Amino acid sequence: MRTLPPRLLLIISAAFAGVVMITLVLLSAAGAVDPIAAAQLAVSVLTLAAAAVIVAAVRRTDGKALRIDARTKREEAALTRAEHGLAQLAATLDGLTGRLEEAGLRQSRVVLAALGEDRMELTAQAERLSQLASAVSRVDATVRESAGDLEDLRKLRHDHEQLARTVLSAVRDLDERLDTLGGAVRDGQADLARSARHNYAQLEALIDLRALLQPRAPLPRLRGWAASPDVLRLLIERIAVDRAKIIVECGSGSSSIWLGYAVQQFGGGRVVALEHDERFAEASRDLVLAHGLQDVVEVRHAPLASWTPGGQAAGRTGEEPGTPQEGPTGPDGGETFPWYDTSALDDVTGIDLVFVDGPPGNTAPLARYPALPVLLPRCADEAWFVLDDTDRPAEREVADRWLREHPELTGAAYPAEKGAMVLRRNPR
């Protein structure tokens, strides 16, 4: 609702108060109204008129303030929208600012030349355009600064993404390493379990051997270079079951003592152990004497000699004991193998059991191959051959070759610690 101006309200209030005062004076003069009451009534009327003027002025001021506030808010919203629009147009205005200023100046000169009297007004417009261009330049600078901040933000985001990829790669690498470690742990557990089973099997076999044979003196250690308890138990079982009389052992040492005890207790025969190393042969003989087995165990020194498949020893190799040789090819192009001097077996026949645990594996390729061709003709019909260390490729090849070349033999793998192959003639 539109309010009257304060000046008009003051005039109306004064006129009204004057009319009321005149009326009250006339009434008081006529005696219709008491003069004191008339005076009080006049004061009241003047007060009400002044209050009305004040109230109207205050209401007008409040209304104007509210309108100004609403207009200010609208203008602020318009300014905000203008700022957004200017931010969007900043990139375009950047290229147009110079051209706009130049075009404005050129246009202003043309207009001033054409219109003359409007020169001052157009000059003022040119100045306003220049100010607008300056404002646009400032907005453009602000936009560029904001664009720089945005670029920094993009770089920061890129760095964060790169860091995230690095962390993810590290996590994947750690996961792969944990998988590898888990596999290694599982393999280690499996190896430990296998080792525990092997150790238990060897301990069980050793307990059986000691309970069965009851040695009279401390025995040398088994396993490692020496035969394992499980393969010795196999040999002693054959001696106990077949009552073997003649046992030939390729190699000597701890196994010679155990075989000697078995023959003494079950077979009543003898053990002939071939040893290519003279010093080791003497040590084995001393061990035999310490156990009182010299009547049943004979350790024979048989140096390594070149042996050909024809069965003839061509002479000693001339190498130190245990020295690896070049292979199975001789000087004449035929096969040759370093093996025990066969003259050490001239008086041995009727062999019931052969234990092939020598020569050592590093002597030459297939160094144990001659054992069966040399000893089989000297064996009894029911003789057994036990080849140790068949977990090694060379010994497996030796066993395969024996079976190919002697179809009258049957072979069976024995699950010993280092692997073993048992061969015997097919039953007739």
Residues 236 and 370 in one domain: yes
**pLDDT (mean) for 215-230:** 71
Residues 411 and 267 in one domain: yes
Q: For the chain, how many residues are written?
A: 428
Predicted confidence at residue 201, as pLDDT, reads: 67
Predicted confidence at residue 314, as pLDDT, reads: 40
Residues 260 and 396 in one domain: yes
Predicted confidence at residue 413, as pLDDT, reads: 93
Predicted confidence at residue 330, as pLDDT, reads: 46
Residue 248 covered by a domain? yes
Question: Into how many domains does the chain fold?
Answer: 2
Residues 242 and 143 in one domain: no
Domain boundary among 133, 155, 177: 155
Residue 208 covered by a domain? no
Predicted confidence at residue 125, as pLDDT, reads: 74
Residue 310 covered by a domain? yes
Residues 227 and 149 in one domain: no
Res 24 pLDDT > 90: no
Residues 17 and 97 in one domain: yes
Residues 135 and 267 in one domain: no
Residue 212 covered by a domain? no
Res 404 pLDDT > 90: yes
Which of 179-188, 217-226, 355-364 is least confident? Answer: 217-226
**What's the N-to-C CA distance of the chain in angstroms?**
137
The CATH number assigned to the domain holding 272 equals 3.40.50.150
Q: What is the mean pLDDT of the chain?
A: 80
**Which of the two residues, 360 and 55, has the higher pLDDT score?**
360
Expressed as residue numbers, the domain containing 256 is 219-425
| Cα–Cα distance list, 150 to 84, 146, 147 (Å) | 16, 6, 5
Residue 184 covered by a domain? no
Domain boundary among 134, 155, 176: 155
Predicted confidence at residue 353, as pLDDT, reads: 95
Residue 206 covered by a domain? no
Residues 398 and 253 in one domain: yes
Kindly report the pTM of this predicted structure: 0.54
Residues 9 and 82 in one domain: yes
Residues 109 and 233 in one domain: no
Q: Which of 263, 258, 343, 318 is nearest to 296 (CA)?
A: 263
Residue 170 covered by a domain? no
Residues 232 and 337 in one domain: yes
Predicted confidence at residue 218, as pLDDT, reads: 67
Give percent of the chain above pLDDT 70: 78
The answer to whether the Cα torsion of 266, 248, 388, 399 is positive or negative is negative
3-state SS string for the chain: CCCCCHHHHHHHHHHHHHHHHHHHHHHHHHCCCCHHHHHHHHHHHHHHHHHHHHHHHHHHHHHHHHHHHHHHHHHHHHHHHHHHHHHHHHHHHHHHHHHHHHHHHHHHHHHHHHHCCCHHHHHHHHHHHHHHHHHHHHHHHHHHHHHHHHHHHHHHHHHHHHHHHHHHHHHHHHHHHHHHHHHHHHHHHHHHHHHHHHHHHHHHHHHHHHHHHCCCCCCCCCCCCCCCHHHHHHHHHHHHHHCCCEEEEECCCHHHHHHHHHHHHHHCCEEEEEECCHHHHHHHHHHHHHCCCCCCEEEEECCEEEECCCCCEEEECCCCCCCCCCCCECCCCCECEEEECHHHHCCCCCEEEEEECCCCCCCCCCCCCCHHHHHHHHEEEEEEEEEECCCCHHHHHHHHHHHHHCCCEEEEEECCCCCEEEEEECCC
Q: Which of 250, 249, 271 is nearest to 262 (CA)?
A: 271
Number of other residues whose CB lies within 10 A of the CB of residue 330: 15
Residues 232 and 115 in one domain: no
Residue 324's pLDDT band (cuts 50, 70, 90)? very low
Look up residue 80 and give its two tokens: 């905000």
Residue 180 covered by a domain? no
Res 223 pLDDT > 60: no
CA distance 80 to 86: 10
Domain boundary among 130, 155, 180: 155
